[in-house]
Structure 1
Amino acid sequence: MALQIRLFQNKDSRKEYGGKWYGRVVSTGEVDTRTLARNISESNSVTESDVKAVIAALVAEMKRQMQNGKTVVLDDFGRFHLTVQSEMTDTKEEYNLKKHIRRIICKFTPSARRNQLTHRLEREMCDGVKLKRWQFDE
C-alpha cells in the first residue's frame, strides 16, 4: 500500500506562500500493540503474549531511563528523549519549575545513515515508501 497524500491550499495571503498548495499525509488509522504483537508472532517463532510482554517491558524501561535524563537509543529504529516546553522569565531567580514548565514532551528521531556517494542522510523507516495522491482531492 502507498502513503496517501492530500493537498491543501495555504490561506495566509500575507506571506509569499499564500495561495500555494502543499501535501500532507492522510492517516489511514492506527495499529495497536495487540495487532503488532500478533503480526510479529506470525512471522517469528515467539508467541503473541511473549511479544506483548517484551513490548510492555520495553516501554516501562524506556520511561524509567528517560525520566532519569537518558536518551534511549534503539539500534536501527531511533532515539527517544524527554524535553520540555518552558516559559521565559526576566531573571534566573524568578524561574519556578512548577510555574514555568508548560509540559514535558517525548521526542523521537528515527535512525539514519549517511549515503557515502550523496552524503545525504537516509532514514531506514522512510526507505521504499510509495506515494499516492489521495483520491478525494480531485
Structure 2
Amino acid sequence: MLFSAGIGDTIVNNAALSNASCTENAARYAEWCEKAAACTFGQYLELYRHHCDPRGDFARDGFDDTGFPSGAKSWETVESYLLSKRACIEAFEAGRQIWRSYVRDMAQWGDEELVAAWEHERCSGLAVA
C-alpha cells in the first residue's frame, strides 16, 4: 500500500536518500509524486486506520468494506454510500473530516475534480486549516 511503510522503513529510506546521488534522489521523488498523485480516497484511509478515535473507526470500516466507494471524487458519493448503509452520525462526521483532509492534500496534485471539491469545501466554510 502507498502509506503502509512503518517509521523504521522511513528512517532507513531517509538514510538511503541522504547517501544517494542528486539524480537518484530526483528519480525517487518523481516516483513518489506519481504515486501520491494517483492516491484514491480508499488508499488515503490507510493514514487513519490506527487512530483510536471515530476517524480510525471510519477508516477501518471503509478500508475493509469491499463496497466502499474508494475512488470517490465527491463527498456526495461517500455520503450517499453511508446513507445506504444507515451509518451513524459519528461515521458521517469522521468521514467528512477525512474527506476534507483528502481533497486538501490531493488538490495540490492538480486533479481537476479534487481541486473543485477542495474549492467547494473552502467556500462552504468547513475546510480544515
Same fold (TM over 0.5): no
Larger proportion of strand: 1
Q: TM-score, normalised by structure 1?
A: 0.23
Q: TM-score, normalised by structure 2?
A: 0.24
Larger proportion of helix: 2
